[in-house]
Structure 1
Amino acid sequence: MRVIAGKARSLPLKTIEGIDTRPTTDRIKETIFNILQIDIAGCKFLDLFSGSGSIGIEALSRGASKAYFVESNRKAVACIRENLEFTKLIDSASIMECDSMTAINKLAGQELFDIVYMDPPYNLDHEKNVLQALQNSNIIDNYTLIVIEASLHTDFSYLDELGYELVKEKKYKTNKHIFAHKK
């Protein structure tokens, strides 16, 4: 796994051992950032369920002004910190060692994010819970783009009911990305 483009281009990133995280492949990461490319420069990026931090690091490398990394696994947090230091992007990063719901509450009134990216464990409905928490939070607005990585079978038919609009859906062999924003 590596940084695809930007200031830290081609630098390798570490991941934690085991099955607790599923690092996004370089190919899928490149696809995501090709879609996001015009929105990245100068944005404030929230990376929920960060894992190794590769998505937020890619955003910083490509010109995001600030990225928040939210991860509850202590080993993954250490990996994120190590990757940020190695890529020399640590000064534009904030690492929060907590679950996503706690982070949303802690960030209230402090930041307004341009892009929220989440890659929660599959098939546990974390996506819906986070979207419900974000619904009334002041860390997003109608212009915030929310990107969700999920299994192919994850149902997002509730988006409209929660006040979100589906902007785009990109499917791969085993997973998909949903792009949405508040109505």
Structure 2
Amino acid sequence: MRVISGSARGRALKAVPGMGTRPTTDKVKEAVFSIIGPYFEGGTVLDLFAGTGSLGIEALSRGMDKAVFIDKEYKSMETVRANLKATGLTERAEVYKNDAERALKALAKRKAAFDLVFLDPPYRLKHGDQLMTQMDELKLLKEGATIVLEYESSFAYPERFGNFTQRRKAEYGDTAVSVYDYERETSAV
């Protein structure tokens, strides 16, 4: 596992010790960034269920200004910190140990807002759409934000719901990735 492109290109990333996490493969990561990027001119990224932090670190390396990494596992948080240090991106990141729902509420209290969100919950959890709806309700998404949802390919999320429209869906073996665009509904005046 490595950083594929940008300022930290080629840097190796540590995996989380044990078998509890399923890191996004370099092949899937490369495909995701070819859909959403490949490079950015600033912005803020949220890596929820961060695991190794690979996706958020890749976004920082490719031009995002700031990243927030959240995971409820202590081993994951230590791995994210080590990977940020190895890539020289520590100063542009915040790392929090928390579960997803509580973390979103805490971010809302801080009035955080994101341009890009990576959602890679454990495959047994099938609530990516609920988390996205919660982000919308808490006003955590900037207009035009992109949400990348990774999940088990045998499961299907809707193409449209709330303020989210699926831009693209791709499958890589047992992994599926849906990229959603966020646009607030505007009421006619």
Report TM bin, short chain: over 0.9
SS at match of 1:13: coil
Per-residue CA deviation, residues 91-116 of structure 1 (Å, 9 max, x unaligned), is 00011110111111111152221111
Alignment of 1:31-70 (within 5 A): 31-37=31-37, 40-70=40-70
Aligned residue for 2:100? Answer: 100
The percent identity for this pair of structures is 35
Shift of 1:42: 0.4
Shift of 1:129: 2.9
Per-residue CA deviation, residues 53-95 of structure 1 (Å, 9 max, x unaligned), is 0111111111110011011100110010011011110000011
Aligned residue for 1:146? Answer: 147
Aligned residue for 1:130? Answer: 131
Between Structure 1 and Structure 2, the one with more strand by share is 2
Tell me how far apart the structure 1 counterparts of residues 19 and 179 of structure 2 sit (CA, whole Å): 26
Shift of 1:166: 1.3
Shift of 1:40: 2.5
Shift of 1:20: 1.2
Shift of 1:28: 1.1
Tell me how far apart the structure 2 counterparts of residues 63 and 40 of structure 1 sit (CA, whole Å): 5
Name which of structure 1's ranges 90-99 and 108-117 shifts more when overlaid on structure 2: 108-117
Name which of structure 1's ranges 15-24 and 125-134 shifts more when overlaid on structure 2: 125-134
SS at match of 2:167: strand
For normalisation by structure 1, the TM-score amounts to: 0.92
Aligned residue for 1:177? Answer: 177
Tell me how far apart the structure 1 counterparts of residues 177 and 91 of structure 2 sit (CA, whole Å): 29
Write the letter of the residue equivalent to 1:134: M
| Structure 1 unaligned residues grouped into runs of 5+ | none
Name which of structure 1's ranges 85-94 and 119-128 shifts more when overlaid on structure 2: 119-128
Shift of 1:39: 6.0
Aligned residue for 2:119? Answer: 118
Return structure 1 stretches of 4+ with deviation > 4 angstroms: none
SS at match of 1:55: helix
Aligned residue for 1:71? Answer: 71
Tell me how far apart the structure 2 counterparts of residues 164 and 62 of structure 1 sit (CA, whole Å): 24
SS at match of 1:83: helix
Name which of structure 1's ranges 32-41 and 17-26 shifts more when overlaid on structure 2: 32-41
Q: Root-mean-square deviation (CA), in Å?
A: 1.6
- CA change 1:7–1:39 in 2 (3 A) is closer
Shift of 1:14: 0.4
Write the letter of the residue equivalent to 1:173: G
Residues 142 and 181 in structure 1, CA contact (< 8 A), matched pair in contact too? no
Name which of structure 1's ranges 100-109 and 74-83 shifts more when overlaid on structure 2: 100-109
Shift of 1:123: 3.2
| Structure 2 unaligned residues grouped into runs of 5+ | 184-189
SS at match of 2:69: strand
Residues 46 and 67 in structure 1, CA contact (< 8 A), matched pair in contact too? yes
